[in-house]
């Protein structure tokens, strides 16, 4: 049985966690806003208010710039939590950083599934249905390559030289 890696909160570890969360969160929200605008003419502020509506309910969609900013804050908070979960797992199981490409792609799929089939349905947004295949495939690829993979690569930089026990 593998022993957990002694990590502590080194500056390097926290720096890589923050970098990964910022990169993944930025890639995700950039895709969401650009795709929504290109596909349906949805303003970026509306996408951000939609994010806020997950916690605050449908009234968030009627808010102004402050509500959009709150949605952006919620989005980055979620990105930080999702990244922290991966970093905690990588600190506990060093094997996760040995092969960041397959692990990161798989983590992206896990993130996509958890967000779309657990988090969003349980939020004040509720279950969504009738999504276009192009949208689902695009979102899945973004989660794999622009969210999960950067997290795994950053965790490799943070923990790659550490040996178990």
Q: How far apart are CA 107 and CA 155, in angstroms?
A: 12
pLDDT for 10: 54
Q: What is the mean pLDDT of each run of 10 residues along the chain (165 residues)?
A: 49 92 98 97 98 98 98 98 98 95 98 97 94 96 98 94 54
Question: Residue 47 has what DSSP assignment?
Answer: H
Domain ranges for the chain, please list them. 11-159
pLDDT for 7: 46
Interior angle at CA 126, CA 107 and CA 84, nearest 5: 30
CA neighbor of 84 nearest in space, from 28, 141, 14, 27: 14
CA distances (Å), origin 30, targets 35, 48, 80, 110:
8, 11, 16, 20
pLDDT for 77: 98
Secondary structure (DSSP) of 98-143: HSHHHHHHHHHHHHHHHIIIIIHHHSSS-------HHHHHHHHHHI
Question: Residue 54 has what DSSP assignment?
Answer: H
Question: Residue 62 has what DSSP assignment?
Answer: G
pLDDT for 161: 66
pLDDT for 165: 43
Q: Give the pTM.
A: 0.90
pLDDT for 11: 64
Read off the tokens for 34.
Answer: 């650009």
């Amino acid at each position: 049985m593998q022993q957990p890696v002694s990590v502590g909160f080194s500056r390097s570890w926290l720096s890589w966690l923050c970098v990964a969360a910022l990169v993944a969160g930025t890639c995700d929200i950039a895709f969401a806003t650009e795709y929504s605008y290109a596909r349906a003419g949805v303003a970026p502020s509306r996408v951000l208010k939609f994010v806020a509506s997950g916690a605050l309910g449908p009234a968030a969609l009627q808010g102004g710039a402050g509500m959009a900013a709150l949605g952006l804050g919620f989005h980055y908070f979620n990105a930080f939590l999702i990244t922290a979960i991966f970093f905690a797992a990588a600190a506990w199981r060093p094997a996760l950083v040995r092969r960041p490409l397959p692990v990161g792609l798989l983590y992206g799929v896990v993130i996509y599934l958890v967000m779309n089939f657990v988090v969003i349905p349980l939020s004040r947004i509720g279950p969504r249905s009738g999504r276009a295949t192009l949208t689902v495939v695009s979102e899945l690829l973004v989660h794999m390559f622009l969210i999960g993979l950067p997290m795994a690569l950053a965790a490799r930089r943070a923990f790659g030289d550490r040996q178990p026990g």
